[in-house]
Amino acid sequence: MKSAASAGRLAALLGFVEDTSGQTWRAWAKRAAAWSAPALFSALETYTFTRDMPAPPVLWRVLAAQMPAWYVWLPLTPWLTRLVVHEPLSPPRPRSVLVHLAACLGVGALFAAVYAVTTAGFMPMPGRDAAWAARWLRAWWGWLPMMGMAYATVLAVASATRASQRARDSERQAAALAVQLAESRLLALQTQLQPHFLFNTLNAIVVLVRERETEEAARMLVLLSDLLRQLLQQGATQEVPLRDEVAVLSRYLELQQLRFADRLRVEWAVEPDALEARVPHLVLQPLAENALRHGIGMRSAAGVLRISARRCGDALELTVSDDGPGLPRDFDLEAAQGIGLSNTRARLSQLYGEAGQLRVANAEGQGTVATVLLPWRSMPDTARVAHG
């Protein structure tokens, strides 16, 4: 990753990276600054070696004679970058080798042409052939090794930039696929909960109808309709304010109180600050259903279901407890096959990784307590308005 970042910075400096901001002058300025370095070194080297001559040239003439030829690379750098894409040298192919060899000779010829003109104008050498063609040929041949090294540098940076871009594209694509996979799994888990809850509630209504408890059955149907409307409004949303989750659970428990009649009492202990915390949609309902089925439902006398929520440092703690018979001796949460517990564990893992935990244990004295630990995250103001 460090080498890719270094290649990216050098590519940006030389102008290999496409300018997406529309300020193309910045790309040209960076390219000019990059190519000014070898141009300046070349001029200073020439100035140093000519100081011992009988009539040494002044510095500004050396700069004017040497530096302009290097700026032929300015418009050629992006063109060579595109050439690397169309004619890559890895793996080497005869066509690509010939194309780049011709391009290198062509760049050298253009460099020599400018060099021949500027040296003749600012640094004329006595006794040298005055013909432009001869000066051009001499410059082309003399500068060819240097042009070859410069061309190889441009190709190396362009190839590294292309490889780095491909790696970043692959990483982005892999990350996008991972997010899509996680969202698909979460949606599948959430849609699994809703029919499970619906079928259980409909079964309870059927029991009431068979026992000719028509008023209770009608009331349950009305509550079920309101509850389904709330669930449909949430849609595929994965996280909601705890306030909304409490509202859904309250409606669900009202349904269950009609089913259990006087055998169920519900106690709430939700801190006001926790109501705006983000929680997974339908995280409490399967835990409450599990407590009703295996806790309150196993008692012949009345039972108590307690729901609490509080902030613990950087975490949110949600608990659902009952005063039923408690867990069997051989209970193992990791091996639990029920939809409620296994689904909740899977969703917490998908949403929060190791930071999302589900614990189920025997309560002090009697009963069972299910505890959910989540990272503390408050809903943004816009989301509060939408859910409000």
Residue 15 is predicted with a pLDDT of 47
366 burial level (CB within 10 Å; 0-12, 13-18, 19+): middle
Range 213-387 has CATH code 3.30.565.10: yes
In degrees, to the nearest 5, what angle opens at C-alpha 174 toward C-alphas 173 and 175?
Answer: 90
Q: Please identify which residue in the block is written with the tokens 């500004």.
A: 60
* Pair 239, 351: CB distance under 8 Å: yes
Residue 368 is predicted with a pLDDT of 92
Domain-wise residue ranges, the chain:
2-176, 213-387
Dihedral (C-alpha) 342, 348, 349, 350: value to the nearest 10 degrees? Answer: 110
In degrees, to the nearest 5, what angle opens at C-alpha 219 toward C-alphas 213 and 223?
Answer: 140
Q: What is the pLDDT of residues 186-231, one digit of tens each?
A: 554 454 545 666 777 788 788 778 877 788 788 888 887 877 777 6
Q: What is the pLDDT of residues 280-328, one digit of tens each?
A: 887 888 888 888 888 887 777 888 999 999 999 999 999 999 998 888 8
Indicate the angle between helix axes 132-210 and 339-352, nearest 10 degrees. 160
Residue 197 is predicted with a pLDDT of 64
* Pair 305, 291: CB distance under 8 Å: yes
The pLDDT profile of the chain, 388 residues, written as one tens digit per residue, is 444 444 444 444 444 444 444 457 777 777 777 888 888 888 888 778 777 777 777 888 888 888 888 888 888 888 888 887 777 777 778 888 888 888 888 888 888 888 888 888 887 766 555 677 788 888 888 888 888 888 888 888 878 877 788 888 778 876 765 665 555 455 544 545 456 667 777 887 887 788 777 887 888 888 878 777 776 665 556 788 999 889 888 888 888 887 777 788 999 999 999 999 999 887 888 888 888 888 887 777 888 999 999 999 999 999 999 998 888 887 777 666 566 677 788 888 878 888 999 999 998 888 999 999 999 988 665 444 444 5
**Alpha carbon separation from 164 to 15, 88, 135 (Å, rounded):** 15, 15, 42
Strands (E), 227-380: 239-241, 264-270, 278-280, 303-312, 315-322, 357-362, 368-375
* pTM strictly above 0.85: no
Going by C-alpha positions, the residue among 286, 270, 360, 362 that lies closest to residue 323 is: 362
Task: List phi, psi (to 5°) of 323.
Answer: -110, 35
What does the alpha-carbon distance between residue 139 and residue 112 come to, in Å, rounded to a whole number? 5
Per-residue b/e over 64-89, b at no fewer than 16 CB within 10 Å? bbbbbbbbbbeebbbebbebbeeebe
* Pair 194, 231: CB distance under 8 Å: yes
What does the alpha-carbon distance between residue 255 and residue 277 come to, in Å, rounded to a whole number? 25
